[in-house]
Amino acid sequence: MQRRELSAQEQRVARTAYAYGVDLRRARWVESTTLTEPLLSAVDRRWNALVHALEQTSLEPAACSPPLAVLEAITEIGRLLRAPTPAVRCLRADAGAGWPAATPLGPVRGGVHWLIVDPAALMAMDPRTRAFVLGQGLGHLQCDHGPLFAAHLMAYVLGGGATWLPWALRPWSRVAAYSADRAGLLACGDLEIAQSALRRGDRPPAWWPPSASPAIRGQALADFARSSVAVRVRTLQSAMHAESGAGGSPPAGESPPARDGVGEASPADPAQSDTSREALPWSLARCDARLTRRLGIL
C-alpha cells in the first residue's frame, strides 16, 4: 500500500512538469469540494455497470493483448512521463465507429486505469503518430482524466441518471485536452507530427468530452514546444536516436533545436542579445499564461 501511494505521488509530481495548470486546478476542485461529491460517487457507482456493458458490446476478452509494438510504446511512453501503468483493453474488430484509437477510462477511487485501444488503427499509423496518440491517452490517465471520460461514456451508454454528468463536468473537460496534447508531444518528440495528428484525427465520437478546435490546440502545442521541458526531452530523444546508430541528425521530420526557438547565438554579441533572450526556452508558466489569455479564462 505504501509503495502504491509513493508511486501515485511520484506520478502527480511528474505531471506538473508538463500539464496545463488550469486543468490541474479544476481537477483538484472537482476532487476536493463537497459540491462535487455526488459527481464522483455517481461515476464510481456506475463503473461496474459500464464495464459490463462494454464487455458485452465492444471489448475483446481481458486476456486479449494488443500487438507487441503497441505494448512496447505504452511501456516506453509511460516510463518517459512516469505515468501510471494502465490495464490495456482491445476493441473488437466489429465494435464499429465511435471509438478513437486510444480511450482513457477509470473510476475516481480504486486505482484502476484503463486504456482502450484499437489495435488495427494504431498499427496503421507511423510510429511517431502512434506515439503521439498513446502519449495523449497516458497523459489523460496521469492527469486523472479517466473519470471524466468515464462520466461522458456512462451518459451515452447507460443513460438514466448519468446524463447530467457531462454538463456538470464541462468546465473541466474543456481544458483537459491541452495537458494530454502536451504529453503526446513529449512522447513523439516532433511538433509537426503532433500538429498533423491533431489535424488528421478522426472525428470524435458523440460522447467524447468537448475540446477546442485542432487549430487552437496546435497553437498551444507550438508554445509548449518552446518550453524547457519539451526542449530537454527533445534533446534527449535526439541523443538516444544518434546512439542507436542513426547518426547525429535529428529524427525524420524533427527540426534541429536552433529552429525550435532554442538558438545558439552568443549573448556576448550585443547585436544578437535580444534574439538570444527570445531564443531561450520558455517556462511552463509562460506557456500556461499565453494559453489562458488565448482561451479568455479569468
DSSP string, 278-291: HHSPBPHHHHHHHH
In a domain, residue 142? The reply is yes
Quickly list DSSP for 56-102.
HHTB--TT----HHHHHHHHHHHHHHT---PEEEEBPTT--SS--SE
In a domain, residue 268? The reply is no
C-alpha cell, 111: 486505482
Q: Could you tell me if 194 and 184 are in contact, meaning their C-beta atoms sit under 8 angstroms apart?
A: yes
Supply the pLDDT for residue 17. Answer: 94
pLDDT winner (highest mean) among 29-33, 152-156, 207-211, 222-226: 222-226
157 or 176, greater pLDDT: 176
The candidate with the shortest Cα–Cα distance to 122, out of 53, 73, 80, 159, is 73
Q: How far apart are CA 197 and CA 110, in angstroms?
A: 33
Strands (DSSP E) along the chain, which ranges?
87-90, 102-105, 114-117
Residue 194: which residues within 8 A CB-CB, separation 6 or more?
A: 132, 181, 184, 185, 188, 221
Supply the pLDDT for residue 160. Answer: 66
Supply the pLDDT for residue 138. Answer: 97
Q: Give how many domains the chain has, as a whole number.
A: 1
Q: What is the mean pLDDT of the chain?
A: 84
In a domain, residue 275? The reply is no
Angle at 136 between CA 233 and CA 81, to 5 degrees: 40
In a domain, residue 105? The reply is yes
3-state secondary structure of 104: strand
In a domain, residue 183? The reply is yes
Residue with cell 451518459: 155
In a domain, residue 16? The reply is yes
Residue type, 172: W
Q: Tell me the pLDDT band of 43, cut-offs 50, 70 and 90.
A: confident
Report field, pTM of the whole predicted structure over 0.95 = no
294 or 237, greater pLDDT: 294
C-alpha cell, 261: 526557438
Domain span at 150? 2-227+282-295
> Is the pLDDT assigned to residue 128 strictly greater than 60?
yes
In a domain, residue 246? The reply is no
> Is the pLDDT assigned to residue 51 strictly greater than 50?
yes
Supply the pLDDT for residue 64. Answer: 93
Supply the pLDDT for residue 94. Answer: 85
Residue with cell 496545463: 20
> Is the pLDDT assigned to residue 92 strictly greater than 60?
yes
Supply the pLDDT for residue 159. Answer: 78
Q: Could you tell me if 30 and 36 are in contact, meaning their C-beta atoms sit under 8 angstroms apart?
A: yes
Average confidence (pLDDT) over 116-127: 95
Q: Could you report the per-residue pLDDT of 173-228, keeping only the tens digit for each?
A: 999 999 999 999 999 999 999 999 999 877 788 889 988 899 999 999 999 999 99
Q: How far apart are CA 83 and CA 5, in angstroms?
A: 14
In a domain, residue 41? The reply is yes
Supply the pLDDT for residue 96. Answer: 66
